[in-house]
């Protein structure tokens, strides 16, 4: 059960990053179907071994989106357990979602320098969420 607006924002952002990962499956699936027309159930990762650069970027977006989702979801859980600042976590959570969405776009457009900058922003925001409980002081 969600109790505060902060809960809704943070868990909503976790859900949004999960949706971004799911969305990243669609172009990957379409590219795979258009290139070979079949799916190799015996060795599904092998069909990505010799893809062109555009399809490799689709795979990269998908894999990186899942990695970022796991790190971000755990950051929210750690922060909640450690009683980190709600306001700071809300803002940083929104930054993570926006940076992840932008990251997907610039990755697909092959804008590598901008991609690195956006990835760094999202990753730093995630890391700060992890350490917020260490710097948040509540009077008892």
Range in 31-45, 47-61, 95-109, 119-133 with the lowest mean pLDDT: 31-45
Give the residue among 16, 13, 20 at the shortest CA–CA distance from 104: 20
- DSSP character for 51? -
Domains along the chain with CATH numbers: 5-135 (1.20.120.550)
Q: Cα 133 to the chain's mean position, in Å?
A: 22
Q: Using CA atoms, how far apart are residues 130 and 107, in angstroms rounded to an integer? A: 26
106: Cβ contacts below 8 Å, ≥ 6 apart: 114, 115, 118
C-beta neighbour count of 64 within 10 angstroms:
18
For the chain, what is the radius of gyration of the CA atoms? 18
Residue 28's pLDDT band, with cuts at 50, 70 and 90, is confident
The arithmetic mean of pLDDT across residues 7-18, rounded, is 92
Selected residue with higher pLDDT from 2 and 97:
97
Q: Using CA atoms, how far apart are residues 100 and 121, in angstroms rounded to an integer? A: 9
């Amino acid at each position: 059960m969600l109790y505060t607006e902060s809960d809704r924002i943070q868990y909503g952002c976790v859900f949004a990053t999960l949706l971004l990962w799911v969305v990243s499956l669609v172009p990957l699936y379409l590219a795979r179907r258009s290139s070979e027309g079949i799916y190799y159930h015996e060795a599904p990762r092998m069909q990505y071994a010799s893809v062109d650069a555009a399809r490799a970027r689709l795979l990269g977006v998908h894999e990186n989106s899942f990695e970022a989702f796991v790190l971000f979801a755990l950051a929210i859980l750690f922060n909640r357990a450690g009683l980190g600042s709600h306001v700071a976590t809300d803002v940083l959570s929104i930054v993570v979602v926006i940076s992840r969405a932008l990251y997907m776009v610039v990755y697909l457009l092959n804008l590598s320098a901008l991609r690195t900058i956006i990835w760094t922003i999202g990753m730093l925001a995630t890391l700060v969420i992890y350490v917020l409980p260490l710097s948040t002081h509540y009077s008892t």
